[in-house]
Amino acid sequence: MKRLHDVFAALADPTRVKIMLLIRDLELSMGELADLLDQSQPRVSRHVRILAEAGLVRRHKEGAWVFVGLGETAPTAEIYALIGALLPNSDPIVTERARLAQVRSERQKAIDDWFHANASEWDLLRRLGGQDAEVENAMVKAACNPTAGRLLDIGTGTGRLLELLSEHADEAIGIDRSPEMLRLARGKLTTSGNQSAEVRQADMRALPFQDQRFDTVTLHHVLHFADDPAAVIAEAGRTVAPGGKLLIADYASHAREELRARYQHLRLGFDDNVVLGWLAAAGLKPRLVSRHPGPELSVTIWEGRR
């Protein structure tokens, strides 16, 4: 009975209902929520605290930022159905939704601009952790267990993973949003004489492939650029065939706040339980593959099997 009271009390304020609607499909930082709602951060923080105490949202800290997402055990489907039933033909966050679209657009533009300016140096920048060869070898080993089969490399960049895996794959496709990256990837693959891999322009949030199309799907140093990592994993998982796997290599959780501005990292690495939870939510059997400590940052490889 207490939980019931807490949930209804938490939703008794219009601002808190708006927060629930805003984070329905996308985790937002406390600062972004304050901007979207046009309220002070202390005031928004108080609203979020009340929602968190009712189990409706969860907060997690990454460096100096605090992200807000839906609570893992919250009856979200029922709550959103109730909001929709009580507010038929009405959108209580129409103004905020327009601002949210602008936030996402600005995030993506900053990343696109950065990749355009730094594409030629991407292979060097990707070695920030200092253990790139070790991680690449571990990814190849995991991808070939038992076989790479039909391969999709999401966010292929300059095509480095395609280079390493295409000879082990029956088919190898790399996708990237950046035309500059794809130009470099095509050039690199051609120069190396690799005729078995192809690259295409596509968005990792809306992959142009049918369900269960690939035996191996890879996300190699991609997830920390995603504004909604859970959605990226769900979309990647959609393309994994029965018996296939999704492999993710990315930074472990860290506090290098300067990487947000310097390299346009949207997320400061990831905890194991968070990534494994996202993989499970995507319908995959999750496991930790390996950890790779480095002098500056550590890299972790996770796997989700269908």
pLDDT digits (tens, 9 = 90+) for 155-165: 998 888 998 99
Mean pLDDT of 200-208: 92
- What is the predicted pLDDT for the residue at 125? 55
Q: Is the pLDDT score of 168 beyond 70?
A: yes
Return the half-sphere exposure (C-beta side, CA atoms, 13 A cut-off) of residue 121. 8
Report the range out of 130-139, 215-224, 291-300 with the highest average pLDDT. Answer: 215-224
Q: Is the pLDDT score of 117 beyond 70?
A: no
Q: Is the pLDDT score of 225 beyond 80?
A: yes
The rounded mean pLDDT for the chain is: 87
179-188, 229-238, 280-289 — which is least confidently predicted?
179-188
pLDDT bracket for residue 231 (50, 70, 90):
very high
Q: Is the pLDDT score of 99 beyond 90?
A: no
Parallel/antiparallel/unpaired status of strands 57-62 and 65-70: antiparallel
- What is the predicted pLDDT for the residue at 185? 80
- What is the predicted pLDDT for the residue at 158? 81
Mean pLDDT of 39-44: 94
Mean pLDDT of 37-66: 90
Q: Which domains does the chain have, with CATH numbers?
A: 2-92 (1.10.10.10), 120-305 (3.40.50.150)
Dihedral of the alpha carbons of 284, 290, 295, 296, in degrees to the nearest 10: 10
Higher pLDDT, 116 or 31: 31
Mean pLDDT of 15-28: 90
Percentage of the chain beyond pLDDT 90 is 51
Q: Is the pLDDT score of 122 beyond 80?
A: no
Mean pLDDT of 113-139: 70
pLDDT bracket for residue 204 (50, 70, 90):
very high
Higher pLDDT, 143 or 262: 143
- What is the predicted pLDDT for the residue at 153? 97
Mean pLDDT of 31-43: 92
Mean pLDDT of 55-78: 85
pTM above 0.85, yes or no: no
Distance CA 266, CA 62 (A): 10
Alpha-carbon distances, residue 114 vs 101, 122, 127, 260 (angstroms):
20, 10, 17, 11
Report the range out of 33-42, 161-170, 208-217, 225-234 with the highest average pLDDT. Answer: 208-217
- What is the predicted pLDDT for the residue at 195? 65
Distance CA 165, CA 194 (A): 11
Higher pLDDT, 145 or 129: 145
- What is the predicted pLDDT for the residue at 27? 84
Q: Is the peptide bond before 146 cis (omega within 30 degrees of 0)?
A: yes
- What is the predicted pLDDT for the residue at 116? 66
Q: Pick the closest to residue 174 from 160, 190, 154 (CA basis).
A: 154
